[in-house]
Structure 1
Amino acid sequence: MDHLADVAVVDPRDGSITPHQDIHFSAGRIASIGSTASPGGGRTRFVVPGFVDMHAHPLNLADPTPALRLMLSFGITGYRQMSGTPALLRNRPAADSRSPRLLATPGSVLTPINAGTPAQAAAEVRRQAAAGADFIKVAVATPVVYAAIQAEADRAGLPVVGHLPTGIDVRKARYRSIEHLGPGLGLLAGCSDHEDHLRTAIAGAPLKAPPFPIPFAGRIAEILIRRIVLNPAQLTTPAMLDSTREAIDTFTEDKARALARHFAASETWNCPTLIRVKAQQLCADPVFPSDPDLRYATAKERKAWTAAAKAFRRKFDESQRAVFAEQFALQQRMVKILDEEGAPLLAGTDAVGAAWVVPGASLHDEFDLLSEAGLTPLRILQTATVDPARFLHREDVSGTVDPGKEADLVLLSADPTAAATNLHQLIGVIRAGRHYSTDDLNPLRNSNTAAA
């Protein structure tokens, strides 16, 4: 099919809808849009730009193909890979209309193993810049090491994104995007009347670099991160929970709004990944094993996720799990405050590797959690379409349904600006001009479990 006939085109910039349009494709682009030549009397079909998952890890897999096709089947036509390798920078996957488009990737994630001192960190940034990284991703760093990372990245013209360094004043981190609202206390520490005390408490012991170079350090870091990433909340100590309790009890709305206005003014983006945060902090919640979308996960993944939930329940008693639940509720409230104050947001999931986060389906979970937080259906649509295009400086080729732009689209059976649940009503996906009907999408979804 080289065109869509008689569809309603949704403009995610303002929510306006132009009905009865024909969209023609050529060479993977939108060739033209105009009034339909043959208006029908059936149910209206709505066209929006393809969804973008702005925090994903499919390329961490030995064979990412099944996960990528699962993502496409849920309307994800592009993604930001959030952990890279030297090999990935040398050999990025070729474009494939059966998979989402890789939009950006870093090199190896920065940790004390490959960036434990300011000198090591600066050298690693230089290596990644020379290898063609699109951005620098920080996982764990002290404030001093972060300063060296940021300075070297500035010299290389690369943005820095990732986890906030523990113990840093969040207003002094010049990240292009903050992931997972911190993670941990992260932004909440900056919204507390006890901010200085909390910042000292969560800083912990200084992270030390290895005393000598370790061969294959990047590979070692990848293995360690994969083990931790299943559920990092499992590493929470009683002292950390005490600090969380303190942050909750001393949360101040005025400080939260001031922080959100700072992010708005400095163009600091947040990718909350609420589904990831919820799956960590409420890992033992029975809602997760009862999720029907688990049928799209592999048997190995389901086994590991079930074990993670059992470990979480064993380690934390009911009162401790209640603190995590309060923390998540406050983080959702923080997302609403960010939105109300104009701080830019991106939709992301942290698939693949995180417990209970199903590739593709989890972006729709994120839509629901953003809706629960209080974002309007249009704002939610924007966080997965026009806003990623703006963040990635790709407005000329993506983010809206316009002639000349990439033919990466989602076809919905209901108006996505009327209700967030309508974002789930997929009846087709167009990737580089190739049309996938509902019948085409089902085999893509089943390919992940077939590969188990």
Structure 2
Amino acid sequence: MYRIADVAVVDPRDGTVTPHQDVRIADGRIAGIGATDGPDGDPTTVDGQGRFVVPGFVDMHAHPLNLADPTHELDLMLAFGVTGYRQMSGAPGRARPAVDDRTPRLLATPCSVLTPLNAGKPDTAVAEVRRQAEAGADFIKAALITPEVYLAVQAEADRLGLPVVGHLPAGIDPLAASDAGFRSIEHIGPGLGVLSGCSCHEDHRPPAASPIKAPPFPIPFADKIAERLLRRIVVNPAQLTSPAALDSIRATIDGFDEDKARELARHFAANDTWNCPTLIRIKAQQFCDDPAFAADPDLRYTTAKERKTWTAAAAAFHRKFTEAQRAVFADQFAFQLRMVKILDEEGAPLLAGTDAVGAAWVVAGTSLHDEFDLLADAGLGPVRILRAATHDAARFLRREHEAGTVDVGKEADLVLLDADPTAAVANLHTVSAVVRAGRHHDTGALSALKERATGRRG
């Protein structure tokens, strides 16, 4: 057992700060919390004076396990206070990593993402859902499927007790998807997505089209083929936006109806339909050629291969789209920020996520802090942002009894901050120590993790 002495305990549910507390850690859990006893000379005591303890941050949309060796990405996540994550793609039979107090906790994972290759028709999609359930998927992730296929997937997943999350199918009404039971919408869509239900020009929804076409007959190794295709697409999916889709986006923006947006947000709240905006991911897509991304000092944590791929993606984006078309993306992002604020104001639940690893300009670990800043740009306050990254993640995963607050009996996955996170979002960046499954990683240990990642720069 050891204690974190004289620390301020922050409750992310309401922003209450209780100063001068001792937090005792034993066997990977919080064993006790109470008024500080002051210093005692014990070398195992962690000095918390002037610091604030919060639950560990959770990245609710990440892909580190897509890599054959995700060691460095997991190191970076922990170094920046990420103690848990939801893996958003997988493969049948892929082994889950062992629980390790030196890496973030894997909280949930699917099997293969549903695409036209493995879910091109309702009957094949239903069979795939059954197969994934048998393989131990925690949820079903949809991407690039048609509304007809989605409805069949949702019905079968409901029968099997699995949530469906992911990309809203192009052409489906977001309200109808919410009513059907869609559990969490990623990237505010993606594409036009949620905004399509917030316009008086609903007839301008883009046609349902997918960059992956359904084969006329079942093919072997469809999952591996889909993974390779998705890996290329995921660098910057905005690159695939057609002129017709851009016209639809412009028409939707021009016809934006705030009353409809608020009605949709209230519907999400009533149905417990969550949104994981991944604003850093959206911004990196829709402003891919912004020189600020290429100049980001956090690129020191990436490999030469990643930087080369991302630079090429930025150049391709700049070549493909005219200045007027890039202005449509910029206007869309402004409305996506506005939509996040409306979702929050109307009580629709939100999660914090990034879409690291594989997405252009999205660096593991640091990108969650970028997400914090963009949520603040959308108008969310620091306590609300902290809650999205901690307590609300636990609530979504139905793990409130295990995590999400600094309470006795809960998992000792904690972050120590050097400034009050309830006062300003910038203070969420002041990570000076991390406790993962009870193991204390001090400032020096976190710096070593960052240095190890920097060593890959080559």
TM-score range, shorter chain: over 0.9
Structure 1 residues 329 and 144, CA gap change in structure 2 (3 angstroms):
same
Q: SS where residue 30 of structure 1 aligns?
A: strand
Match for residue 79 of structure 1 among 67, 70, 85: 85
Q: Which whole-Å CA distance do the structure 1 matches of 2:24 and 2:49 have between them?
A: 20
What letter corresponds to residue 400 of structure 1 in structure 2? T
TM-score by length of 2: 0.95
Offset of 1:451 from its aligned partner?
4.3
Q: How does 1:362-381 map to 2 (within 5 A)?
A: 362-381=367-386
- Counterpart residue number, 2:186: 179
Q: Provide Cα deviations, 1:192-228, integer angstroms capped at 9, x if missing partner.
A: 1011x123x3324898531222111000000000000
What letter corresponds to residue 313 of structure 2 in structure 1? A
Match for residue 322 of structure 1 among 327, 337, 340: 327
- Counterpart residue number, 2:107: 103
Query: Does structure 1 conserve the Cα–Cα contact (< 8 Å) formed by 2:116 and 2:212?
Result: yes
Q: Which whole-Å CA distance do the structure 2 matches of 1:394 and 1:204 have between them?
A: 37
Match for residue 263 of structure 2 among 258, 263, 278: 258
- Counterpart residue number, 2:157: 153
Offset of 1:104 from its aligned partner?
0.2
Q: How does 1:5-16 map to 2 (within 5 A)?
A: 5-16=5-16
Structure 1 residues 206 and 353, CA gap change in structure 2 (3 angstroms):
closer
- Counterpart residue number, 1:190: 197
Q: Which whole-Å CA distance do the structure 2 matches of 1:392 and 1:119 have between them?
A: 29
- Counterpart residue number, 1:137: 141
Structure 1 position 388 matched with structure 2 position 393? yes
Query: Does structure 2 conserve the Cα–Cα contact (< 8 Å) formed by 1:20 and 1:39?
Result: no
Offset of 1:297 from its aligned partner?
1.2
What letter corresponds to residue 19 of structure 2 in structure 1? P
Q: How does 1:219-230 map to 2 (within 5 A)?
A: 219-230=224-235
Q: SS where residue 287 of structure 1 aligns?
A: helix
Structure 1 residues 156 and 291, CA gap change in structure 2 (3 angstroms):
same
- Counterpart residue number, 1:417: 422
Query: Does structure 2 conserve the Cα–Cα contact (< 8 Å) formed by 1:295 and 1:449?
Result: yes
Structure 1 residues 158 and 62, CA gap change in structure 2 (3 angstroms):
same
What letter corresponds to residue 194 of structure 1 in structure 2? H
Query: Does structure 2 conserve the Cα–Cα contact (< 8 Å) formed by 1:72 and 1:100?
Result: yes
Query: Does structure 2 conserve the Cα–Cα contact (< 8 Å) formed by 1:284 and 1:310?
Result: yes
The alignment-based identity, stated in percent, is: 72
Offset of 1:172 from its aligned partner?
1.2
Q: Which whole-Å CA distance do the structure 2 matches of 1:57 and 1:451 have between them?
A: 19
- Counterpart residue number, 1:279: 284
Q: Which whole-Å CA distance do the structure 2 matches of 1:275 and 1:449 have between them?
A: 22
Structure 1 position 119 matched with structure 2 position 126? no
Q: Which whole-Å CA distance do the structure 2 matches of 1:433 and 1:2 have between them?
A: 9
Q: How does 1:209-358 map to 2 (within 5 A)?
A: 209-358=214-363
Query: Does structure 2 conserve the Cα–Cα contact (< 8 Å) formed by 1:294 and 1:302?
Result: yes
Q: Which moved more, 1:365-374 or 1:299-308?
A: 299-308
Q: Provide Cα deviations, 1:52-109, integer angstroms capped at 9, x if missing partner.
A: 0000000000101110011000000000000011122xx2110111110000000100
> Structure 1: which 5+ residue stretches go unaligned?
none
Structure 1 residues 207 and 361, CA gap change in structure 2 (3 angstroms):
closer
- Counterpart residue number, 1:68: 74
Q: Which whole-Å CA distance do the structure 2 matches of 1:355 and 1:229 have between them?
A: 8
Structure 1 position 165 matched with structure 2 position 169? yes
Q: Provide Cα deviations, 1:242-288, integer angstroms capped at 9, x if missing partner.
A: 11111111111111000000000000000000000000001011111
What letter corresponds to residue 13 of structure 1 in structure 2? R
Offset of 1:450 from its aligned partner?
3.0
Q: Which whole-Å CA distance do the structure 1 matches of 2:287 and 2:235 have between them?
A: 13
What letter corresponds to residue 132 of structure 1 in structure 2? G
Query: Does structure 2 conserve the Cα–Cα contact (< 8 Å) formed by 1:297 and 1:448?
Result: yes
What letter corresponds to residue 334 of structure 1 in structure 2? M
Offset of 1:446 from its aligned partner?
2.6
> Structure 2: which 5+ residue stretches go unaligned?
41-46
Query: Does structure 1 conserve the Cα–Cα contact (< 8 Å) formed by 2:145 and 2:210?
Result: no
- Counterpart residue number, 2:44: none
Which structure 1 residue ranges, 4+ long, deviate > 6 Å from structure 2? 39-42
Q: Which whole-Å CA distance do the structure 1 matches of 2:48 and 2:271 have between them?
A: 47
Structure 1 residues 42 and 166, CA gap change in structure 2 (3 angstroms):
closer
Q: SS where residue 277 of structure 1 aligns?
A: helix
TM-score by length of 1: 0.97
Query: Does structure 1 conserve the Cα–Cα contact (< 8 Å) formed by 2:6 and 2:49?
Result: no
Query: Does structure 2 conserve the Cα–Cα contact (< 8 Å) formed by 1:261 and 1:343?
Result: yes
Q: Which whole-Å CA distance do the structure 1 matches of 2:299 and 2:276 have between them?
A: 24
What letter corresponds to residue 390 of structure 1 in structure 2? R
Query: Does structure 2 conserve the Cα–Cα contact (< 8 Å) formed by 1:180 and 1:277?
Result: yes
What letter corresponds to residue 403 of structure 2 in structure 1? S
